[in-house]
Structure 1
Amino acid sequence: MYTSAPQRRGVTRRSLTLAPIQLAVLTFVAGIGSASAQTAADMVRPGDATNPAAATSPAATPTPAVNSNGMAEVIVTATKRSTSLQKTPIAITALSAATLADNHVQTMLDVVQLVPGFQATAQGDHGVTTMTLRGIGNDSAKTQYADPEVASFVDNIYSPRAEGATALLFDVEGIEVLRGPQGTLWGRNSTVGAVNIQTVKPELGSRAGYIEGGIGDYNRYGMRGAVNIPISDNAALRFAVVHEQHDGYVDYQKFPGVPAEQQRAAYLAAGGDPAKFRLINPNDFAVGDKKYNAQDQSAARLSLLWQITPGLRWNVAYEKFDDRGTPSANLMQTPRPGQDHWSTLSDSAPWIDRTSHNVRSRLSWDIGQDMALHYVAGYSKYKGTMRFDQDGGATVPTSVISGAKWQEHTTTDSDYRSHSHELLLQSTGTRTVDWQTGLYYGAEKNSIRFDIPVMLGTKDSGKVDWQGSFIQPKETVDSAAVFGQATWNVSDQLHLTGGARYTHDKRENIGGRAFTWAYDATAPQLPLNPSIDPRVQPGFKEDKPGNDGKFSGSKVTWLGRINYDISKDHMVYASVSTGYKSGGTQDRGLTYQPETLTNYEVGSKSSFMNGAVKVNNALFYMDFKDFQFNSPVNFSDGSRGLSIENADGAEVYGLETEIAARLTPVDRLSVSFALLKTKLGALVAGSNDYTLPSPCAVKPEFDRCLDVTGNTLPHAPRFSTTIMYQHTFNLANGGTLIPRVTAHYETDAELSVFNYGPEDRQESYATADLGLRYQNKGWWVDAFVRNVNDKKIKTSAFNGFGPWLAQYKPPRTVGINTGFDF
């Protein structure tokens, strides 16, 4: 939660048809006013000084506390209570709506440079956002493969899929990034941290809103807006919408052409039938299709606040998200002569077609003066398809069956459903012992089919190199937990905290099968597509064994912490905490083991110059056990699949510092930096994304592998820093003009555990974003330039097709937004 008023910039609304569930919600809401006999005089609004639960309830919106220097106190909910950031003994970065807007944050990829030690990538083959914190993450934790080490929450509800508010941040009150294990209070998959997104909630008695619109290069346009509507003295609705769209950054290359006689010679040399020779068709390459790296996303959210009684309130929201953009492209790190970096020779037109529905609910009951009970529940449904060019046009075909490999990834169908429930009982008010205890249950039921066809030469060559269809009709997850945490306030200065969580996880794959090419010369040489059923199509065989498997396990995670208030402006703390991520099942019905993390941390939080300067530090050492490494591999028997292995562990240590300063009444500066050192434990890794030594003598089940023991973990620069500065010019007409700059620098970082040299590394770089904002009363206009020096920043790399390919952060973009509040 944040005390500063949300300031939003940005973008518009696409018409969205109300689904039946939305109509049902509206019908229900219409009866609330008549169903309640409460009046405004009877109500105690959350956050009022007369509400005894307001100081500790995470559902409350505390009254802003402003220092004499004009800086508002930042309130966070990291401990599942509303507490001051400077009094919370956890390494937290709290990003207000104003900060998000100033930096034009739209997705989680935009958040990372604002948080020390935070990295994120968008993997092209699934368009999934993967996050790394303090050097620990998992690039292969893609949608259907595995869980992340950094858990995402929206309004304290776990979000297993990076969709909706997690993917397209809109009408957000703020974001809290909790660094370090959060296994006690936040639970599953928060091994190295958690990201909690707080959406803007309805407000009683308020009729207000905002609307924004913007344009930019790459034909970018978008709009967003929200309106708060009181429907009675004790109930209110909030409706928020957003649409963001821009063309892809990646142009299509035309087929460069190969002389007919050279094609014939190459065709015959590859063993082609002279009677079936044909020339490469240039029209098989994408030219006028939708480009890669395009955005076309829309979302809408309908929220309700119902203050049923003075001590009982309900927040419930329904959210729909649509993604019709395209995945990120694999680009050649060294383009072919005459070709631009932001271009690809692609023979697979891309698409994304994904929709998610989310319902989030929080029912809070203040039980007298000393206790509150919260029931937090969520439901999510996600369906989607997508297509992606995996080979990235790495090589040019010399004939229809030679010189190149055409490889495509198509998610034919994916369907994920999840729900979660948390019952939290906690003490409220000022007590000698602050305590909370709770029960949690979460479940998922997922299915997917994805196809990977590989053809020699070109797509229409009629010669299959290899292809496989992976059909997982039912994967389930069940996770149950009980937890508790208490803080003994020994004195006004000394506080001791202890907590523990018991978690039991069960995962099962039912009916998972892989159907791969049987190399039957009589079968039609057709590449897989959604209309082909490999279970009955000639030429395919079912790989044995199947993927049926079960995993069941449990773990206790715990926390011990001491913090001491040296004075009202200075606090120090020390903690030991643990995190845990469940094991599970993988291809061939094999299991992999859980991973655990123990974090030792000391920190300080200080304010100087009457709160005008705030400095927060965290020094940590992490001992990581059984790190789960995921990779697509070629097995020694010729089959392919996903392998999930446990490394012996990893060691990570570092320092994080955040400084926020109000230099003068019109000058603001913030600086954050992180020092990081990582070392991977014993692991022999395989991957068909890389050209690794073959055969794999030390791990015979793999066709190729490499011993990566002792290597540096990916996405873990030794030093990174972000500096933000802005100055306010007060104009004679009552308006303000605010220029700002956000500069970021980091040293070189590996892009995989293989540490394969310069191509597998992002070299050190510096970049900056610029902005200029004019505001007069409720109206404003904001111009910006992002990645002003047009730096090419790699987020992943591989050389499985020969030449080195990579994915990149966006190039330089410019735009202008305008809007007004009402």
Structure 2
Amino acid sequence: MMMRYKTLAAAIALSNLAYGAAALAQAEDTDKVEDRLDDSALEQVIVTATKRETNLMDTPIAISAFSEETLDKLGVKNIKDLNNLVPNMSIMVDNESSAPIITMRGVRSTNTTEWGDPAVGVHFDGIYTPRPQGAMALMFDIERAEMLRGPQGTLFGRNSTVGSINIISAKPKTDEFEASTRFEAGRFNQRAFKGMINIPVSDTFALRAAYMTEKKDSNLTGYYDPNQWDQRYLPMDELTPTDSAVSPAANGFEAWLFDQQYYQEVKADPADFYNNANQWAARVSASWTPTEKASWLVTVERFRDDSAGGIGQRDCERIEDRPVEMGGTCTDIWGSEDNFVAYVNVPGKNDMTMDSVRSHFTYDISDELQFVYNAGYQNQERTGQYDIDQGYYAWDQMLKWVDTDYDSWSHELQLKSTGDGRLQWIAGYFNFKEDNYMNGHYQGAMGGASLWIQPERVIKSEAVFGQATYSVTEQTHLTLGLRHTEDSKEDIGGRNWGCWDACSGPINAWGFVDWGLPWGNPDAWFGDGTAQTPRNTLNALPADYYDQPREGFVIDTQNDVYESWSKTTWRIGIDHDLSDNTMVYGYVANGYKGGGIGDVLYKQSTISPENPTGDRFDTSYDGETVVTYEVGVKTSLLDGDMNLRANYFYNDYKDQQFSTWTIYDVTFTYEPARDDVGEPIFDANGDPVLEEVRKDHGTFLTRNAASSRIQGLELEMEWAPWAGGHIGGYVTFLDTEITSDYWKQWGSEPGQVFNNDANPSDSSFGNSSDYYDPRYPSYRNLKGNELAYSPNASLTVNMSHTFEFRDGSSLTPFLSVHWEDDAYLDIDNRDKWVIPEEDMREGVDIAWFTDKRDAWTMATANLNYTSASQDWYAEAWVYNLTDEDVNWWQGFGGSTPMAGKAQRSYGLSFGYHW
């Protein structure tokens, strides 16, 4: 704790340099200001963070903005690539949903289901999008990308607790015809194309069309593995029997148990294996200005993804010293330490289409009053399948999206002042609705299947808002904002179907095991000599057998449920111009993210004749709130050649939402005891010996788990130190802490860490009404832990210099270096756990299960040649120049740690502009 505050003290000392610079700026001759702005080597960035066009340096909030040219230079192709470019922001991708998970200032949401809400709102052209998957590819032909930090609860509202991202597409122009193309080729057989054409039809009407496509092979050496349970997705008639195999399943418990035949793995085509790319997007915009007072912009967009989706890689470094008796190293398991090798028996599929329509209409009622109507529609349809276990688990798990259809509508009406009056204000009404249909299922060949059919899940949100800024003097401006939001979520007719222990269908492999039957018994064989194993029964089924309820399925839950929430958010701010080129600001604001609902669950432990279904377990959760205090300074120095921005913030979070696997019920049964070889144990009277077996009932839940405190400092700089030169970047310091009691179970494979004797087995244990019991050794109070993806310090430096040649052409080398302190990738902070020796499995090293990422450095380089005519350019680029080993996320699969790892890529680009 003391180190945290020492770090923060150092940060505040550094911030004094920025304030000192601001003080020096006051002494600058104000007569030079206009000349400075005109002659500045730095681009004057215009943003719409306050729903007005303002200069970034005059906008009293923490905001970063990048033009498309800058994003291309930095190698940004989608929202995921913004990872290192924005202070205190990191982005990972959820492989199951192909959705980005954005963390800003230590806060994120990992629930990417149709019920989940992001902590950072994503907007396209100012219109909220509930399904941010399209942001993975739609950052082409844009004016800029704006990243707003801090709660945006009054103007943007929905799910902007900690910030918002607004991607603003390029608008049609009526003054000139233009077109451009960009071709790109890179590592992993990457081929990409971007194209744009702008057509001025008349003085009042223009069209603009843009297109992008990208194909790329997988970065993995992939194998289709027929040694796992489920072979239905593989061409078994083309497979070769073998005496040995190197896949995890071939070395696993299930291989011995069912005496399966080994098969030779089949190397996958990298063009259609996990982690490949096969996508395109098209956008058409029309701009019409029928009168001087009215304008209308309509954008139609389609995004198509027909890839195999993403999958995790091994994390061999974490177990490089693990002994064989505890699972061994990657070399022991596969014969290699290569992280980028994958064995699957379910080919990946992510067949997704997103259609969007956005409308922006403005009308100037008078010289001082404007009406704005923003409307948006988005539809996402997706089918897909995902190999969850990759052979790491005996259960052989897969996730399949049979069909999903998400429709959303957004409307926002605004009235706002224009002109130069001392009072500038905006008032509006926001209405949003999302209607979702989903049919998907989970299969675990050794455990069963769960099918969920949700015909109508409806999310509604509406709000009224207003914000006004009054110039108390020419230099001092006071801002007040208010927004009232009403949210609701409803499931109509949703059903979860289960096929588990009592299922008569063939999916449940364990149900077919006769533990007392010797495998040499002729009764264990079919007449044709093939082994009578549940594996054969399963693979006799078609691959789509469980896409709909079948015989043996029962309804586990009926999910008809409705919940609603409301919240009033506010903002009080003041900013003051110390001089014509220096501004200081401060504000207090709160943010809000609505609550949610889940499947309807009942506790089996409370079933009785009077209560046949058991007590209902409440899966709903309330909204989370934050109050943020922030002060900052923005100043231009050195005749406009340097821009400095610095801010300090303090966040007080209440009822913070965390998503985790949660034990909500515990039941106990008595089953026949068996010896080490599976034979039943009998007592002296010849009766079977029964043993009590504990069964935990759990589900993935979002809960209002805790409160937390977050404070930090952000320093940003842009500097043109010499003609043709540019240096920019940021330094951040962050301090996070969970400040309330939050009991949570060990997050990765607790059965591998805690011995069997560590968990109480008496029937009185675990029957409390709460969803945890602190007597369970694998639970711990996380109060005092740090939040995920929250390094104490980070640094980015961007450097470039343009060499001008006599013929007018130029050569610009560019280098971006990012350093980040160590950080946790989960709130468990497992290296802080003190586990009694008697509760741990013998020989376990907690370091194998760490959720801490070491400090790391990554560099991106670019070399651009632009022709004398400025019509064409050529670039060579390298991402992750030093091939730094960085985990974007990490988890555990069976006995093997997994991660999403960075990997070096490089390529060439060529562009032409008409």
TM-score by length of 1: 0.85
Letter in structure 1 aligned against 2:330? R
SS in structure 2 of the partner of residue 591 of structure 1? coil
- Contact preservation (8 Å) 1:711, 1:755: yes
Query: 2:218 matched to which residue of 1?
Result: 248
Shift in Å, 1:532? 2.9
1:706–1:417 distance in 2 versus 1, CA, 3 Å: farther
Shift in Å, 1:161? 0.7
Letter in structure 2 aligned against 1:673? V
Query: In structure 2, how many angstroms separate the alpha carbons of the residues matched to 1:151 and 1:88?
Result: 19
Query: 2:567 matched to which residue of 1?
Result: 555
Shift in Å, 1:471? 2.3
- Contact preservation (8 Å) 1:507, 1:585: yes
- Contact preservation (8 Å) 1:121, 1:131: yes
Shift in Å, 1:701? 3.7
- Contact preservation (8 Å) 1:425, 1:438: yes
Shift in Å, 1:706? 4.2
Query: 1:20 matched to which residue of 2?
Result: none
Matched, 1:428 2:398: no
- Give the one of 328, 336, 349 matched to 2:330: 336
Letter in structure 1 aligned against 2:912? F
Deviations 1:684-725 (CA, angstroms, capped at 9, x unpaired):
235875427657958754697543222111111111111100
- Give the one of 563, 573, 581 matched to 1:569: 581
Query: 2:652 matched to which residue of 1?
Result: 623
Query: 1:762 matched to which residue of 2?
Result: 853
Query: 1:40 matched to which residue of 2?
Result: none
Pick the structure with more helix per residue.
2
Letter in structure 1 aligned against 2:353? T
Deviations 1:433-491 (CA, angstroms, capped at 9, x unpaired):
11110011000001222222112xxxxxxxx3232122222111111100001111011
- Give the one of 781, 792, 798 matched to 2:885: 792
1:323–1:229 distance in 2 versus 1, CA, 3 Å: same
Deviations 1:282-308 (CA, angstroms, capped at 9, x unpaired):
458867782221111100000000001
Query: In structure 1, how many angstroms separate the alpha carbons of the residues matched to 2:786 and 2:148?
Result: 23
- Give the one of 441, 444, 448 matched to 1:451: 441
| Pairing of 1:695-706 with structure 2 (within 5 A) | 701=771, 705-706=779-780
- Contact preservation (8 Å) 2:42, 2:719: no
Query: 1:691 matched to which residue of 2?
Result: 750
Q: Which has the larger radius of gyration?
A: 2
Query: 2:235 matched to which residue of 1?
Result: none
Matched, 1:750 2:824: yes
- Contact preservation (8 Å) 1:238, 1:303: yes
Letter in structure 2 aligned against 1:281? Y
- Contact preservation (8 Å) 1:534, 1:540: no
SS in structure 2 of the partner of residue 796 of structure 1? strand
Shift in Å, 1:165? 4.8
Matched, 1:582 2:588: no
Query: In structure 1, how many angstroms separate the alpha carbons of the residues matched to 2:252 and 2:804?
Result: 74
Shift in Å, 1:803? 2.1
Q: Gaps (5+ residues) in structure 2?
A: 1-33, 228-241, 317-328, 508-537, 601-617, 667-695, 832-846
Query: In structure 1, how many angstroms separate the alpha carbons of the residues matched to 2:250 and 2:135?
Result: 51
1:247–1:418 distance in 2 versus 1, CA, 3 Å: same
Query: 1:511 matched to which residue of 2?
Result: 493
1:268–1:801 distance in 2 versus 1, CA, 3 Å: closer
Letter in structure 2 aligned against 1:424? Q
Matched, 1:499 2:481: yes
SS in structure 1 of the partner of residue 152 of structure 2? coil
Say which is worse superposed, 522-531 or 340-349, in terms of deviation.
522-531
Letter in structure 2 aligned against 1:746? E
Query: 1:372 matched to which residue of 2?
Result: 370
| Pairing of 1:399-478 with structure 2 (within 5 A) | 404-455=394-445, 464-478=446-460
1:798–1:166 distance in 2 versus 1, CA, 3 Å: closer
- Contact preservation (8 Å) 2:224, 2:345: no
Query: 2:609 matched to which residue of 1?
Result: none
- Give the one of 99, 113, 134 matched to 2:84: 113
Deviations 1:639-698 (CA, angstroms, capped at 9, x unpaired):
553311102311100000100000111110002121101112322235875427657958
- Contact preservation (8 Å) 2:224, 2:265: no
Letter in structure 2 aligned against 1:808? K
Query: 1:532 matched to which residue of 2?
Result: 545
- Contact preservation (8 Å) 2:813, 2:862: yes
Query: In structure 2, how many angstroms separate the alpha carbons of the residues matched to 1:419 and 1:386?
Result: 25
Query: In structure 1, how many angstroms separate the alpha carbons of the residues matched to 2:430 and 2:250?
Result: 63
Query: 1:363 matched to which residue of 2?
Result: 361
Query: In structure 2, how many angstroms separate the alpha carbons of the residues matched to 1:636 and 1:281?
Result: 41
Query: In structure 1, how many angstroms separate the alpha carbons of the residues matched to 2:805 and 2:100?
Result: 42
Deviations 1:604-658 (CA, angstroms, capped at 9, x unpaired):
0011011111110110000011111112445535555331110231110000010
- Give the one of 93, 109, 119 matched to 1:122: 93
- Contact preservation (8 Å) 1:202, 1:303: yes
SS in structure 2 of the partner of residue 100 of structure 1? helix
| Pairing of 1:588-599 with structure 2 (within 5 A) | 588=600, 590-599=619-628
Query: In structure 2, how many angstroms separate the alpha carbons of the residues matched to 1:286 and 1:466?
Result: 28
Letter in structure 2 aligned against 1:360? R
Deviations 1:83-134 (CA, angstroms, capped at 9, x unpaired):
1111110000011122111112111111121100001101112211110000
Matched, 1:653 2:624: no
- Give the one of 103, 114, 131 matched to 1:132: 103
Shift in Å, 1:162? 1.3
Query: 1:814 matched to which residue of 2?
Result: 906
Deviations 1:205-260 (CA, angstroms, capped at 9, x unpaired):
32111011111110000101110111222100000000011111111257697659
| Number of residue pairs matched by the alignment | 735
Say which is worse superposed, 524-533 or 600-609, in terms of deviation.
524-533
- Contact preservation (8 Å) 1:633, 1:687: no
Query: In structure 1, how many angstroms separate the alpha carbons of the residues matched to 2:269 and 2:419?
Result: 65
Letter in structure 2 aligned against 1:807? G
TM-score by length of 2: 0.77
Query: 2:728 matched to which residue of 1?
Result: 670
Shift in Å, 1:800? 5.2
Deviations 1:744-803 (CA, angstroms, capped at 9, x unpaired):
000111111112245312211001001100001211001100001111211222225222
Letter in structure 1 aligned against 2:281? A
Query: In structure 2, how many angstroms separate the alpha carbons of the residues matched to 1:478 and 1:254?
Result: 43
Deviations 1:523-546 (CA, angstroms, capped at 9, x unpaired):
2234898723576412322214x2
1:642–1:473 distance in 2 versus 1, CA, 3 Å: farther
- Contact preservation (8 Å) 1:620, 1:653: yes
Query: In structure 2, how many angstroms separate the alpha carbons of the residues matched to 1:232 and 1:689?
Result: 62
Say which is worse superposed, 84-93 or 530-539, in terms of deviation.
530-539
SS in structure 2 of the partner of residue 655 of structure 1? strand
Query: 1:232 matched to which residue of 2?
Result: 202
1:264–1:83 distance in 2 versus 1, CA, 3 Å: closer
Letter in structure 2 aligned against 1:569? N
- Contact preservation (8 Å) 2:402, 2:547: no
Shift in Å, 1:511? 2.0
Query: In structure 2, how many angstroms separate the alpha carbons of the residues matched to 1:279 and 1:531?
Result: 24
Q: Gaps (5+ residues) in structure 1?
A: 1-62, 396-403, 456-463
Matched, 1:481 2:451: no
- Contact preservation (8 Å) 1:631, 1:686: no
1:243–1:497 distance in 2 versus 1, CA, 3 Å: same
Query: In structure 1, how many angstroms separate the alpha carbons of the residues matched to 2:883 and 2:747?
Result: 31
Query: In structure 1, how many angstroms separate the alpha carbons of the residues matched to 2:804 and 2:251?
Result: 73
Matched, 1:771 2:800: no
Query: In structure 2, how many angstroms separate the alpha carbons of the residues matched to 1:740 and 1:188?
Result: 38
Letter in structure 2 aligned against 1:373? F
- Contact preservation (8 Å) 1:243, 1:299: yes
- Contact preservation (8 Å) 2:217, 2:271: no
Deviations 1:386-433 (CA, angstroms, capped at 9, x unpaired):
2222113336xxxxxxxx331111122211100100011110111111
SS in structure 1 of the partner of residue 665 of structure 2? coil
Letter in structure 1 aligned against 2:278? D
Letter in structure 1 aligned against 2:555? E
